Amino acid sequence: MTSLHDIIVIGGGPAGCAVALSFLKSHPNGSIIVLSDADPERFKIGESLPPEAARLLGYFDASLPAALSAHLPCAGTASAWTNASLEEHDAIMNPFGHGWHLDRAHFDEKLRAAASGAGAKFSRARVTAVRRDNDQWIVESDVGSAVTGRWLVDASGRRAGVARLLGLRTRKLDDLLSVYALFSSTSGITDDHDTRTLIEACPLGWWYSALLPSKQRLVAFHCDASSAKGAVRTRTGFLDLLHDQTEHLARIVRGHEYDLSAADSATPAGPQTTAACSTQLEGWQTQLYFVPVGDAALSFDPLSSQGMMTALEMGCILGTELAANVKQLDGFSDERVIVQRVTERYAQVWARFEKSRRYYYSVQSRFEGEFWASRRV
């Protein structure tokens, strides 16, 4: 007979690991299992970590801040947003210091290793079904027997895979897409040392770029879904748009003889497309002993640079709340208290994001089309 875990977490990214680490920090004898089908060798977009994250990582595990030395320090931001000139914000002016451009696969693996070292059990598995029976959650996967637990946490990212299995749906605020590609020096050697985050607006949307620890440069174009159809998803179309509609980013690409990286086991071939819209999971409070976290609960326009930090923070809060709950006599105290607290926290985070989003799009007058006009509302 399978043992009953206190917590089942679906998803082994930053949000899921933060739940496990904070839960075990508050309840070292607790039982938590993380099911994840993440491929540690596959490139994953989402490489920016703000400087204030170091303190939170240190709370999780004292070794994690030092492990950031394997990544690339971010020197600040350079943004051509309201006009064609770059506005620079140096990291030296930030009281928390500099942020990082991550090797995301390596970063996530370190988080999983820290959570495992703290006592979390991990299983490489793809969830196929979830159901609640006899006051417990039963999770079936493509590996081994079913897993049972008191609480179920969906940390599966934007896809909100567990929530969808439960019949829940996300509400999209917009149709923003990100078309991204990795660039490498054609000579194999680059003297590109610009470790700032670069943002550049153009009539059809906005561009983002960051130098990665691999010395590849990530370039991403954010636009309405209707604008991402056709040529921009092709190698030639992506490069043509980059050179036609950007000034500063095109200069970096030309100056360092960058071209789209050749595909290998860890690098995608040509431009890739991923959702970048802002979403909220609706109706999750109707499920007993169930909480979404990270992008499964709330996902943000990448312009906010809010996703990674919010995932870690909310994972930390949720893990601490769950620890307090399961430490109650028999582990079944009123779950409505946690649900209410988490709901209020999510509402606060979303309100801050909405305020910031409205401001940054309202000051940008260079965009063209109805999609961008609607974002200024």
Q: What is the mean pLDDT of residues 251-255?
A: 94
- Tokens 């995608």 belong to 268
pLDDT at 318 over 60: yes
Of the two residues 239 and 3, the one the predictor is more confident about is: 239
Which residue, 171, 164, 155, is CA-closest to 291? 155
| 180 within 8 A of 228, measured Cβ to Cβ | no
At residue 209 the predicted structure's pLDDT band, cuts being 50, 70 and 90, is very high
Q: Does residue 151 surpass a pLDDT of 80? A: yes
Its CATH architecture, for the domain 176-275, is 2-Layer Sandwich (3.30)
Q: Are 366 and 84 in contact (CB under 8 A)?
A: no
Task: Kindly state the average pLDDT of the residues 358-367.
Answer: 82
Task: Please name which of 156, 217, 209, 168 lies closest in space to residue 191, comparing C-alpha atoms.
Answer: 217
Q: What is the pLDDT of residues 184-194, one digit of tens each?
A: 988 777 889 99
SS3 355: helix
pLDDT over 60 (residue 73): yes
Nearest to 325 by CA among 313, 334, 314, 316: 334
Confidence category of residue 331, pLDDT binned at 50, 70, 90: very low
Alpha-carbon distances, residue 364 vs 45, 101, 126, 179, 243 (angstroms): 25, 26, 42, 21, 21
Q: 270 and 236 in contact (C-beta within 8 Å)?
A: no
Look at residue 1 in the predicted model and tell me its pLDDT. 45
The band of 266, judged by pLDDT with boundaries at 50, 70 and 90, is: low
Residues 347, 298: Cα–Cα separation, whole Å: 10
**Hey, what amino acid is at 368?**
E
Residue 273 has pLDDT above 80, yes or no: yes
Which pLDDT does position 2 carry in this prediction?
Answer: 64
* pLDDT tens-digit series, residues 86-111: 999 898 888 888 999 999 999 999 99
- The string of pLDDT tens digits covering residues 58-69 is 999 999 999 999
The backbone torsions φ and ψ at residue 184, rounded to the nearest 5 degrees and listed phi first, read -130, 155
d(CA 313, CA 36) in angstroms, rounded, equals 20
pTM: 0.93
Q: At residue 178, does pLDDT exceed 80?
A: yes
Placement of tokens 């179309």 in the chain: 237
Q: Are strands 121-124 and 32-36 parallel, antiparallel or unpaired?
A: parallel
CA angle at 271 for the pair 270 and 274, rounded to the nearest 5°: 140
The Cα–Cα gap between 248 and 200 comes to 8
Q: Residue 96 in 3-state DSSP?
A: coil
Share of the chain above pLDDT 70, in %: 95
Residue 330: is its pLDDT beyond 60?
no
Q: How far is CA 307 from the centre of its chain?
A: 5
Q: Reduced to 3 states, what is the DSSP secondary structure of residue 19? A: helix
- From CA 176, how far away is CA 101, in angstroms rounded? 23
Task: Give 113-144 pLDDT, tens digit per residue.
Answer: 999 999 999 999 999 999 999 889 999 999 88
Q: Which long-range contacts (CB under 8 A, 24 or more apart) does 345-348 make?
A: 345/314, 345/317, 346/297, 346/298, 346/314
Q: What is the mean pLDDT of residues 268-288?
A: 90
pLDDT band at 208 (very low <50, low <70, confident <90, very high): very high
Check if the beta carbon of residue 260 is closer than 8 Å to that of residue 181: yes
Where exactly are the structural domains of the chain? 4-47+104-172+278-362, 176-275
pLDDT greater than 90 at residue 376: no
Q: Please give the mean pLDDT across all residues of the chain.
A: 90
With cut-offs at 50, 70 and 90, classify the pLDDT of residue 226: confident
- Work out the pLDDT band at 372, boundaries 50, 70, 90: confident
**Is 115 in contact with 129 (CB distance < 8 Å)?**
no
pLDDT class of 40 with cuts at 50, 70, 90: confident
> Given 3.40.50.300, 3.40.1440.10, 3.50.50.60, 3.30.390.50, which CATH number is that of 4-47+104-172+278-362?
3.50.50.60
